Amino acid sequence: MHYEKLFEKGTIGRLELRNRVVMTAMGTMLGDWNGCSTPEQVRFYEERAKGGCGLIIPEFTSVDPDSGHCNRIQLGIWDARQISSFERICDAVHRHGAKIFVQLHHGGREAPPAINGGRQAMAPSVELNSVIGRDTILPREMTIEDIDRLVGLFVQAALNAQAAGADGVEIHGAHGYLLQQFMSPYTNKRTDEYGGSMENRCRFIVRILKGIREVVEPGFVVGARINGNDFVEGGNDQDACVEIAKYLEPYVDYFNVSCGVYASAATMIEPCYSPEGWRSGFVKAIKSQVSVPIIAVNTVKHPQFAEQLLQEGVSDFVGMSRMHIADPYLVQKTMAGREDLIRKCLGCMNCNKSVVAGRTLHCALNPVAGHEVTFGDDKLVKNGNGRKVAIVGGGPAGMQAALLMKKRGFEPVIFEASGTLGGSAILASKAPCKHMAQEFVDTQIAEMQEYGIEVHLNTPGTVARIQTIEPYCVVVACGGNQIIPGVPGADRDNVYYIEDVLLGKVQFAGKKIAVIGGGHVGLEVAHYLCADNQVTVVEMQKEVGTSIYRTAKYKLLSLLQENGVEILTQHALAGVGEGTVELKQLPGGETVSVDADIVVMALGNRPDKAYEDKLAAAFDKVVVIGDATKAGTMADATKAAYEKCFYI
């Protein structure tokens, strides 16, 4: 495909960018406790610059030493000690021809006291901040002195960013953080000069923007990230956000348009249930009313779609944050015409899940992301010397292991019992909105072909078959065996398993269906079936979907609720009858009957220990990864493949 717009040079203020691709800000947890960068963080951004990105905006960066922090580890730019820290990031990005802006941030009422020295959060007004899945925060109302102090801190932070070598700053006025809290009537109930009218609600950010412009060099870019819609009742809708953009335009060189607040989190950092380009309406509405350039994030998964957005005039630059986590070289690959080799973001939310949990960034598709200092290609121990390695199983874990071993100089041979590569990811891709799982499989297959990795389909990894290649090592990545409950009626003709349903071996309409198991797979099977059937999900635990990150989980549960799916927690399957399932209530043990024409077992898999023992007895080196060792997610599978095969 010819990319007329995507690789066209662009200008923001007086700054020229080499293309229209922007890596927008996202937390990484890669810094240190003092708000300074680390070698891991510098390398993380350097790889994205090396990959061809035009502009990089690192994670939100705190301006205040005492308040406003939203992550346990968050970059800072509030004092001179952090100038040299940020300089290392700026130099690494500039070395490879990209530009860099620093996103200046204060969390306001979203800043938990626990990670701000116990200090109470600040906000425009005293409004209880209660979001499902996390602790409630009660902020205090900011005084005029507080506002004056923070204006000074934002201005000083911009000067520090300039001194560090950044090309500009982006003032974070979106996502329910402090400056957006002032701009939105949802959180601003003030009656003084900082509340009420739109002009008053914008007074705080205008003071900051004007203050920065007065002290920085003329060519230094000053922009703002703003919402195109808050997606909360009582907040700024699209029309209100357009008016705010028009009002702020004289003070900025560009806008970075996003949306949502924490009360509407599934719009802010959306899981897989939002299609590519779903934000285009409010982005175009703002772009049509201002003349400064627009950067916009739009759930972009494919460079072809990014080109389309630019051709249609939706935005002037395309924001691709999570895509750059999944594949730092996506621009290079696109320019080379190898879009088939791009690892495209699943929207699984594992990156956000890991950071919110206080752990280092972890991508389900790219186990190297954030760990380049340890697992980068330059750290590979290339001691394979052409020795054979048997990979049993051609799912995501097996293919990831094969690719890594090939890079290390081994000759991996994949033995896959089925007629296609992909493993459990094929099943995952069949659920509604999960098509990107199939695209990941397609990318991995392209990688196998690109690296010339030997693959044997319809070939179970028996001991005898593996012995024919005389392997140096055997990597077991063949998943597990599905769990079959030992209850009366489990073998009835109306009992099916997830493979039967998701692979289309059976189809149902107008049926009452009981899905046994409320884990991730069980809920997705229910989503697959609920459009044409009456579905009940049965789960032993107190809640369903415990392995799913909260934003994705609540969105999926809302979709199930909209389609009439009933969820029964603390119920265990006791038996399957004619048109019913017998359930045992937990605790207590009382038995209840639920009508069910069809029963679908979604109880997961367990490792095949007997098979592992056979391999261990026959070969000196056996490594077990993925579901073959413990049922888990795709993120678990790719991570285990990298970590266990890196030093074999």
Output the six-digit token pair for 131. Answer: 């979001």
Place of tokens 């791009």: 342
User: In this structure, are residues 307 and 320 in contact, taking their beta carbons and an 8 Å threshold?
Assistant: no
DSSP secondary-structure letter at 129? B
Say how far apart CA 554 and CA 397 lie, in whole Å: 28
Say how far apart CA 478 and CA 422 lie, in whole Å: 11
Say how far apart CA 623 and CA 636 lie, in whole Å: 15
Short-list 242, 229, 244, 310, CA closest to 277: 310
Say how far apart CA 628 and CA 608 lie, in whole Å: 7
User: In this structure, are residues 104 and 171 in contact, taking their beta carbons and an 8 Å threshold?
Assistant: yes
Hey, what amino acid is at 364?
A
Place of tokens 């801190």: 153
Mapping DSSP onto H, E and C, the string for 577-645 reads CCCEEEEEECCCCCEEEEECCEEEECCCEECCHHHHHHHHHHCCCEEECHHHCCCCCHHHHHHHHHHHH
DSSP secondary-structure letter at 76? B
Catalytic residue, candidates 3, 45, 177, 251: 177
Answer yes or no: 177 catalytic: yes
Neighbours of 410 (CB within 10 A): 23
Neighbours of 492 (CB within 10 A): 12
Say how far apart CA 120 and CA 58 lie, in whole Å: 27
Place of tokens 């209850």: 487
Hey, what amino acid is at 592?
V
Q: Tell me the CB-side half-sphere exposure of residue 607, using CA atoms within 13 A.
A: 16
Short-list 174, 20, 170, CA closest to 100: 170
User: In this structure, are residues 7 and 13 in contact, taking their beta carbons and an 8 Å threshold?
Assistant: no
Short-list 318, 320, 323, 321, CA closest to 287: 318
Neighbours of 372 (CB within 10 A): 21
Q: List strand residue ranges (DSSP E) for 176-273, in order.
A: 221-227, 255-258
Output the six-digit token pair for 445. Answer: 């297959």
User: In this structure, are residues 445 and 425 in contact, taking their beta carbons and an 8 Å threshold?
Assistant: no
Q: List strand residue ranges (DSSP E) for 428-579, in order.
A: 454-456, 473-476, 481-482, 495-497, 512-516, 534-538, 566-568, 571-576
Say how far apart CA 395 and CA 26 lie, in whole Å: 29
Say how far apart CA 497 and CA 627 lie, in whole Å: 17
Burial class of residue 486 in the structure, from the number of CB atoms within 10 Å of its CB (0-12 exposed, 13-18 middle, 19+ buried): exposed
User: In this structure, are residues 412 and 401 in contact, taking their beta carbons and an 8 Å threshold?
Assistant: yes
User: In this structure, are residues 211 and 156 in contact, taking their beta carbons and an 8 Å threshold?
Assistant: no
Q: Helix (H) and strand (E) counts for the chain?
A: 23, 28
User: In this structure, are residues 381 and 95 in contact, taking their beta carbons and an 8 Å threshold?
Assistant: no
Q: So which residues are the catalytic ones?
A: 177
